[in-house]
Structure formats: structure tokens, C-alpha cells
Structure 1
Amino acid sequence: MTPNRPYLLRAFYEWIVDNNCTPYLVVDATMPGVKVPLQHVKDGQIVLNISPGAIGNLLLGNDAVTFNARFSGNPFALYIPQRSVLAIYARENGAGTMFTPEEEWQEDELDDADTDVEEAAVSDSPEPGPDDDKPKKGSHLRVVK
């Protein structure tokens, strides 16, 4: 069966908002694929206010939670894979739920890890290039799929 987390997340979100409370999402920011502002991550986790008035373009999909938000006045597009969602709760009273790891996603992560290792082995090989005395100033960031 498919993981039930996306369905439970949508239900808890709707329930919290219908009761005029503020939904907070707890995310494991160390998981692969998570795109959140790193300066707000504490102990590997980030707590996000996902109330309708605080964010835009919220999509609680089966694979990921996506939305736009502002942090310190700067716009940011967030991408949160469902497997990285740890909990959803109401700020006012703490009502909500914590999620346990699901077997379906753990198997997917093992498959992804095997693929990442193969890709890393290919991409880590040195590329032939001209010998310049100037050091290259490439980006320290790389795209992780």
C-alpha cells in the first residue's frame, strides 16, 4: 500500500485550520531533497507556520509539501518531501500528530542511496582540463536529486 502520511497530513491540516488554529509543521531538514532556509534550522529540524495567511501556493501532495513563504522579508520556495515531515500540530493547544517512519519510504531511500552512490562514483572522477595557474571559482553548491 502507499504511505498514509500524505492523507493524514491533509486531514490534520484541514482539521486544525477549520478550528481556527495555526498549523505548524515539523520537518527533518537533514533528509535528502528538503529545501528550507538553513539559517532557521535548529538541531536538524525546522518548525514552519503553514497557516493560509502566512504562506502562499500551498500544495500538500502525495510526494511533497510545497509552498512559498517569507523569512526575514526574503521570499523562499520550500520543498518538503513527505518522508521528512515529522509532525503537524496546532500552535494554540498542541493538538495534532507525530509521524513514524514508513516502510515504503525507507525502501525508496535505500534505492535512492544506491543510485546516489553510483552517480557519485561517476561524477567524482577527475575531468581532463587545461592546467591554469588561476584557481577555478566554481559554485560550492550542487543539485541533489
Structure 2
Amino acid sequence: MAELTSRRPYLIRALYDWVLDNDLTPHLLVAADAEGVDVPHQFVTEDGKITVNISPGAVRGLSLDNALISFSARFSGQSYDVSVPPGAVLALYARENGEGMLFGEVEPPTPPDGGPDGGDDADGESGEQTAQSKRAHLKVVK
């Protein structure tokens, strides 16, 4: 079975639309130190995160693609081009009430070939052990 694409960019787009449809202000919480993140570092918190207002009135050229979220925004009056891989988004929520979704940990980017090492294990086998390690892992959220 082929490796599935990340569901995070799809959820980000859906939540963004939901927040706007309810006349609320969408904010992204981003792990600023994650691979591929380009944000103004002077606004990153001590714990390595940045919160960005991505409402239509606050950003220009917003693109919520599967591989990259990009836009131009003003921080303290200065314009910055921001780019964030969807895997670095920790949450998308409405500023007014906090409703939205927490994604949890940073999701590492998937290599272009779809696997961590080209698809086969170190012995050149892609057999039973690899299939077992790719089983779904669910955890209870209370």
C-alpha cells in the first residue's frame, strides 16, 4: 500500500474556512525552530513558538498548499514574507474563543520518495517487519 499523504494541510484549510465562516479571526501557532520555517525571529517566544494572525485583512497572498503555507504579513509595521511547512503548525484556532484544533508535535517533512530511507529497510527487504511497523497507532484523547 502506498504511503498516505499528511492530513494536516487538509485540516488546516478546513479549520481556516470554518473560523472565517463564523466571523472569527484565524491564528496559527507555529514551531518556529522546525525545518523549513521562515518567520521573523524577533517575534518568536522563548519556547520557540510564534502565533500569527492569518485573517484576510492581516495577510497578503495567503497560500495554504499541501507542502507550504506562505503569505506576507506585517510585524510591528514591517512587512515579512512568511513560509511554514504544514507539519510545523502546532494549532489553528479562533482568537476570540480559542476554538480550533491542536495538532501536537511537529510532523517531519516526508522525503520525495515517500519513505524515510527510500522504501526498503537496511537489508533491502520491505517485508513483514516493515508492514508491521507501518500499522496505525491510535491513542486515547481525554
TM-score by length of 1: 0.70
The structural deviation recorded for 1:13 is 0.2
**Higher Rg of the two aligned structures:** 1
Letter in 1 for 2:13: R
Can you list the C-alpha shifts for 1:27-79, whole angstroms capped at 9, x where unaligned?
A: 00011111000000001000000000011100000011100001111110001
Work out the number of aligned pairs and report it.
110
Alignment pair present for 1:60 and 2:61: no
Q: Which runs of 5+ in 1 are unaligned?
A: 112-145
State the alpha-carbon separation in 2 of the partners of residues 107 and 23 from structure 1. Answer: 26
Alignment pair present for 1:37 and 2:54: no
TM-score by length of 2: 0.72
2:126 aligned residue: none
The 4+ residue runs of structure 1 with deviation greater than 3 A are: 100-103, 105-108
Cα RMSD between the aligned structures? 2.0
2:130 aligned residue: none
2:94 aligned residue: 90
- Secondary structure of 2:82 counterpart: strand
The structural deviation recorded for 1:100 is 3.6
Alignment pair present for 1:12 and 2:15: yes
Q: Which runs of 5+ in 2 are unaligned?
A: 118-142
The structural deviation recorded for 1:101 is 4.3
